[in-house]
Amino acid sequence: MLRIAMLGAGRVGQVHARSISEHPDAELVWVCDPIEAAATALASKYGAQWSLDPEDAFADPSIDAVVIGTPTNTHIEMLRRAVDADKRVLLEKPIDLDLAKIDAAWAEIQHRAPFVMLGFCRRFDPSFQEVKERVAKGEIGMVRALRITSRDPQPPLAAYLSVSGGMFKDMTIHDFDMARYQLGDIVEVQAMGSDNGLDDFREAKDHAQAIIVMRAASGALATIVNSRTCAYGYDQRLEVYGDLGSLEAGNWTPTTVRANTATETEAAGPILGFFLERYMPAFKAEFDEFVRAVTEEREPAVGFADGRAALVLAEAANESVATGRVVRVG
Ligand SMILES: NC(=O)c1ccc[n+]([C@@H]2O[C@H](COP(=O)([O-])OP(=O)(O)OC[C@H]3O[C@@H](n4cnc5c(N)ncnc54)[C@H](O)[C@@H]3O)[C@@H](O)[C@H]2O)c1
């Protein structure tokens, strides 16, 4: 039984706490968050202990692993402390917003051969996994293109935008990782963004929507279509296109019922709300991989290097927007 501490009891902390408590080989022992109401609410929901300070979990010798779901600007420090305390780590994306800081932290901790799994939950989405597996079996022949559509239902608050690190590092980071997961290494990035004339995005110098075009080392091309707003909900789709056909993973709806009436045909209900609903099975599968990799004492399916590689692509996209050029990476 793996004994786990959840660091951060916010949005993503609540998702992970549920995965931990529902896993047959894991136990949620601590919930740590400086906001007492958040810590106590989540801890009491799952019968865990709570603390305002993660040090209590680091100091507990019975804790095998920590899940870091604290704000991005605390990740590196939490990671250092966790590795010092000899805990296994499941770390939320992005590792940090600054590549130099990421490299310095890794140089400091790598001699301890730390176990760090990166929270790129979408790799564990059953449909995205099926697409990858069927491509690998040769079902659509040589892969030529990948199209990822990723739109959030509503924009973050202005206060969040100013500290998020920008759309590419905060949001598109998942899609950069998905492109690497489906296509392998990416070698060229070109990006355009727009604030859609919205004050919050203009003031934060951020994008409300963006389109990124990339080339993989294999020669395949990829597009990522992002938006921070979407009138019809959380739009999460992808298509891999090859010489012999294409494989598409579509949006999820709560039921498969389709309505045909005088005003609409093949009409489905609304798509699933946001990441919490849409990716709950992926979060659970991600945590299962974490438990299995720790137990089997092997590398996790997605690690620190993947987190770094996705950030490299985010930086390339920022550079492309700033210069209007195609940016080579790797
Ligand atoms: N994988 C995903 O799909 C996904 C989704 C959402 C967020 N995230 C990532 O998870 C992280 C947290 O995002 P969120 O949306 O849950 O934020 P949030 O603001 O909802 O929650 C963060 C929580 O961490 C707490 N906290 C702050 N400092 C802390 C500390 N030193 N120790 C312990 N707790 C501390 C805050 O009080 C807050 O309750 C971010 O890095 C974000 O990028 C990932």
The protein residue with its alpha carbon nearest to ligand 1, atom 7, reads 12
pLDDT given for residue 20 in this prediction: 98
Ligand 1 centroid from CA 13, angstroms:
7
CB of 72 within 6 A of ligand 1: the answer is yes
Ligand 1 centroid from CA 169, angstroms:
15
The protein residue with its alpha carbon nearest to ligand 1, atom 19, reads 10
CB of 13 within 6 A of ligand 1: the answer is yes
pLDDT given for residue 293 in this prediction: 98
CB of 172 within 6 A of ligand 1: the answer is no
| CATH code, 2-92 | 3.40.50.720
Q: How far is CA 163 from CA 35, 39, 69, 140, in A?
A: 19, 23, 16, 42
* Two tokens, residue 326: 């195609």
Best residue for ligand 1 mutational test, from 35, 92, 150, 275 (most atoms within 8 Å of Cβ): 92
pLDDT given for residue 93 in this prediction: 96
CB of 311 within 6 A of ligand 1: the answer is no
Same fold, 2-92 and 124-275+305-328: no
The protein residue with its alpha carbon nearest to ligand 1, atom 38, reads 10
- Whether residue 219 contacts residue 177, with contact meaning beta carbons closer than 8 Å, is answered with no
Q: How far apart are CA 226 and CA 86, in angstroms?
A: 38
CB of 66 within 6 A of ligand 1: the answer is no
pLDDT given for residue 273 in this prediction: 86
pLDDT given for residue 223 in this prediction: 98
Q: How far apart are CA 57 and CA 65, in angstroms?
A: 9
pLDDT given for residue 269 in this prediction: 86
CB of 8 within 6 A of ligand 1: the answer is yes
Domain boundaries, the chain: 2-92, 124-275+305-328
| CATH code, 124-275+305-328 | 3.30.360.10
- The three-state DSSP-derived secondary structure of 40-64 is HHHHHHHCCEEECCCHHHHCCCCCC
CB of 71 within 6 A of ligand 1: the answer is yes
CB of 54 within 6 A of ligand 1: the answer is yes
Ligand 1 centroid from CA 148, angstroms:
25
CB of 32 within 6 A of ligand 1: the answer is yes
CB of 7 within 6 A of ligand 1: the answer is yes
pTM over 0.85: yes
Per-residue pLDDT of the chain (330 residues; tens, 9 = 90+): 999 999 999 999 999 999 999 999 999 999 999 999 999 999 999 999 999 999 999 999 999 999 999 999 999 999 999 999 999 999 999 999 999 999 999 999 999 999 999 999 999 999 999 999 999 999 999 999 999 999 999 999 999 998 899 999 999 999 999 999 999 999 999 999 999 999 999 999 999 999 999 999 999 999 999 999 999 999 999 999 999 999 999 999 888 899 999 999 988 888 988 999 999 999 999 999 999 999 999 999 999 999 999 999 999 999 999 999 999 998
pLDDT given for residue 172 in this prediction: 98
- Whether residue 310 contacts residue 94, with contact meaning beta carbons closer than 8 Å, is answered with yes
Which ligand 1 atom sits nearest the alpha carbon of residue 164? 43
- Whether residue 211 contacts residue 150, with contact meaning beta carbons closer than 8 Å, is answered with no
Ligand 1 centroid from CA 285, angstroms:
20
For the residues of 135-181, what is the DSSP string, one character each? Answer: HHTTTT-SEEEEEEEEE-SSPPPHHHHTTS--HHHHTHHHHHHHHHH
pLDDT given for residue 162 in this prediction: 87
